[in-house]
Structure 1
Amino acid sequence: MSKGNRGRDRAAARKIVEQQKVAARRRRVTIWTSVAVVAVLLIAGLIGWGVYANQQHKTEASKAATPSVAVDDGTAFAVGTGPVTIDLYEDFMCPICHNFETANADTLNTLVSEKKVTVRYHPVAILDPASNGTKYSTRSAGAAAAAAEGGKFKEYHDVLYQNQPPENSDGLDNARLIELGKQVGLGDAFAQAVNAGTYDNWATRNTDTFSARGFTGTPTVVVNGKQLQGANGSVPTSDDLTKAVAAAAG
């Protein structure tokens, strides 16, 4: 082969290589452009879904049936008639709430019976993720609201804690919630409300109000509008409660 032909062949080969490189670059640009477009669409979709879900959440909460006996803008159930108000925000699956109730029940009952305090119980549902998808916190709070309508809130409140399921379990099913209601004297209207989830959206709205008031954990204890905590931010003791009530009473 002549030198001229070899030169032309090398030039042709270089041209082909350059064309292949250009084509490869174009493919990379096209691929990454497509990836970027898909990513943008995915993000937009997620944002849209988030907005939709939030709107649905607000819509459902706004349709919540409020128990007729609820106080404090429909968020709580009052026990007692004393001048000092104790607001208790609790989740029926919360083990620390159970401990608080066990340790302070006698003190709270005494303060109520002596007509020193009005205790307002706010059932909230912050531990739904800890019940394997059964939304036990919401269902038990809704059941407590139905019990309040039946005139048995405190009795049902207490029996729920006496039968509290472990955190990260399925919780109690509706049949068991109804059975506990029967134990404290609740009847068919209560059972129907539990099975229909009549007050489940109310529980959701209550939880939103709890967050809007700046609270993040249960139990939260508030005495005459001032949050009460124990030493080093711990859960208040009976002594803490007694002293706070005495100070509030003047």
Structure 2
Amino acid sequence: MTTQAGRLTAPIHVPAGATEGGDGIVVGDGPVIVDAYIDFQCPFCKQFELTSGPTLDQLVENRRITVVYHPMAFLDAASTNQYSSRAASASGCASDQGMFMEYAYGLFVNQPPEGGPGLSDDELIELGTTVGITDPVFEACVRRHTYIEWAAYVTARAVQRGVNATPTVFVQGVPVPANPQVIVAAVTAATS
């Protein structure tokens, strides 16, 4: 990731399924864009995924929305091993395997507490196996931290957009509370 005249440029390594600008993972192909800024270390993001995830999945399945997940590294200091960055990088590796959503859900369900060590690389790899990722390329990607710079880039782009907390949600570019009912109402309003 480099800056040119104050502008961020995408890192060399960007996961499959990333946005054109490289700052998020695209899920679905509906007409309304929902941006979700998340950190895999964030307890409120876990709560958001567990409460809003099924609603977002249904909206994607019904082709009403496209969700762009922006895995951030806000909370690296809340672990002893840069867990936010490493988990975001591993989610990029899962996206390369076409398993971003399954892996992201697994990261939230197995979220370590803030303040201690996050999951080790071995545990991140094992989580991949648990959700069905069997390609050895995934293990190598996680161990090399292939998408660490990408996680920093996603975070920097989010900060440029004014995101200062996770989870943060936008529907068609308008910030909304990270609440399933409010998101559905905003999506409905955007399509009326």
Q: Specify the SS of the correspondent of 1:122.
A: strand
Q: Is the Cα–Cα contact under 8 Å of residues 64 and 199 in structure 1 kept in the other structure? A: no
Q: Which has the larger radius of gyration?
A: 1
Task: Kindly indicate whether structure 1 or structure 2 has the higher relative contact order, using CA contacts under 8 Å at least 6 residues apart.
Answer: 2
- Deviant stretches of 4+, over 2 Å: 61-64
- Relative distance call for 1:212 and 1:150 in structure 2 (3 A) is same
Partner of 2:56: 108
Partner of 1:211: 159
Q: How does 1:190-201 map to 2 (within 5 A)?
A: 190-201=138-149
Q: Is the Cα–Cα contact under 8 Å of residues 15 and 93 in structure 2 kept in the other structure? A: yes
Among all aligned residue pairs of Structure 1 and Structure 2, give the percentage whose two residues are the same amino acid.
Answer: 40
- Structure 1 distance, partners of 2:102, 2:16, is 18
Matched, 1:247 2:189: yes
Q: How does 1:1-250 map to 2 (within 5 A)?
A: 63-132=11-80, 134-186=81-133, 187-229=135-177, 236-250=178-192
- Relative distance call for 1:243 and 1:214 in structure 2 (3 A) is same
1:24-83 residue CA offsets vs partner (Å, 9 max, x unmatched):
xxxxxxxxxxxxxxxxxxxxxxxxxxxxxx99xx9xx86541124211401111111111
Query: 1:201 Cα deviation (Å)?
Result: 0.9
Q: Is the Cα–Cα contact under 8 Å of residues 10 and 22 in structure 2 kept in the other structure? A: no
Report how many aligned residue pairs link the two structures.
Answer: 186
Question: Could you list the runs of 5+ residues in structure 2 that have no partner in the other structure?
Answer: none
- Structure 2 distance, partners of 1:174, 1:147, is 13
Question: Could you list the runs of 5+ residues in structure 1 that have no partner in the other structure?
Answer: 1-53, 230-235
Moved more, 198-207 or 172-181: 198-207
Higher percent of residues as strand: 2
Structure 2 counterpart of 1:216, one-letter code: N
